[in-house]
Amino acid sequence: MASIPRRRRCAFTLIELLVVIAIIAVLIALLLPAVQKVREASARASCSNNLKQIGVALHNYHGVHSSFPPGGVTNGPCCDTQSGATWTIYILPYLELDNLYKRYDFTVPNEHANNQFVRQSFVKVYTCPSDLNANVLEFPESGPGSGLQYATGSYRAMEGRTDGLAWFEAEDGRIFSLSWRGVLHSISDPTTSTPFPSGYKAPPYGIERFATITDGASNTLMVGEWTTKTNRHRATFWAYTYTSYNQSAAVPPQSRQLLGDYDACVAVGGTGDSNPCKRGWGGFHTNVVLFVMADGSVRYINRNIDMFLFAALATIANEEPIPGGL
């Protein structure tokens, strides 16, 4: 009988398979950094666009009210006093979020049940895509809202400069000279025990205008990033007015403020203990923190910036020289 020839089956040998896997692994290793760079560039551009929109909204608010909104409103001294509204709530109509703004009840405190819907709403323009804490409901670590859940955010108002021992929220907004104030500092009126209604005109010391930014709008920080790799209870909560949860300050010479990591900042230590860390700045962009200036431009602030220069940029009327500009 004639023999039937057998067909040889084509297949990879083990060595060939290992070589192919190794080549694929090398290609992935080469491509991954490039992909990450593209993703980071996209996230940074989106974050920058968010800040640009926030800057435009603040300018539009100023155009209507002839002043910037307060960073936050409280009705007495820190730290258990319930709060009124905050800058992020005041500018909602200028971010095409009028429906959310109308859900906020200005006749009751920020912590009241009537304002739960707003407090727990996620707002895209207040969230940087790089933020690891994005779109999370969390309990803040302190204050009258510590037992309530708030939606996270990524941006904080610049209150101004402090010495690390006292804070704008500590009294009635007048404990610092005008020269140390930022554009969006907190205000309070210890003479009243009722929340401020939406149309309330705060005292002259409470709300700043372009005319009071004598250092120049292009040289003054207005809103910047804060998020943290650790302790999510100390993240930014966009609608939480109380002290340091959507407002921060500059505390020279403490560069630990720009770490973007709350626990690491506390571990470094320094004047004011953890207070400068509570009011820190930082995001997840490589070596920079994004800010919108008072003129509406967006700038990248290097994490290695001299902290006295950073403080000069934080204030509206201290007349400090800025070497070489910004």
What are 55-85's pLDDT values in tens digits?
A: 999 999 999 988 999 888 876 666 677 888 9
Determine, yes or no, domain membership for 17: no
Output the pLDDT for position 222. 97
Q: 11 lies in a domain?
A: no
* Domain assignment present for 7: no
Q: Of 16-20, 141-145, 148-152, 308-312, which range is least confident?
A: 16-20
- 2 in a structural domain: no
Say whether pLDDT at 136 is over 80: yes
Q: And the tokens for 112?
A: 């009241």
Whether residue 32 is contained in a domain is answered as no
Mean pLDDT throughout 107-128?
95
* Number of domains present in the structure of the chain: 1
The pLDDT value recorded for residue 173 is: 42
| pLDDT of the residue at 151 | 97
Q: Is the peptide bond between 195 and the residue preceding it cis, with omega within 30 degrees of 0?
A: no
Q: Which residue has the higher pLDDT, 24 or 288?
A: 288
Q: Rounded mean pLDDT of 164-170?
A: 61
Per-residue confidence (pLDDT) for residue 12, from 0 to 100:
65
Residue 9 counted as domain residue: no
pLDDT digits (tens, 9 = 90+) for 201-241: 444 445 789 999 999 999 999 999 999 999 999 999 999 99
Model pLDDT for residues 47-57, shown as the tens digit of each residue: 999 999 999 99
With respect to residue 31, please indicate whether it lies within any of the assigned structural domains. no
142: pLDDT strictly greater than 70: yes
Structural domain contains residue 123: yes
Q: Give me the domain span that covers residue 197.
A: 40-314
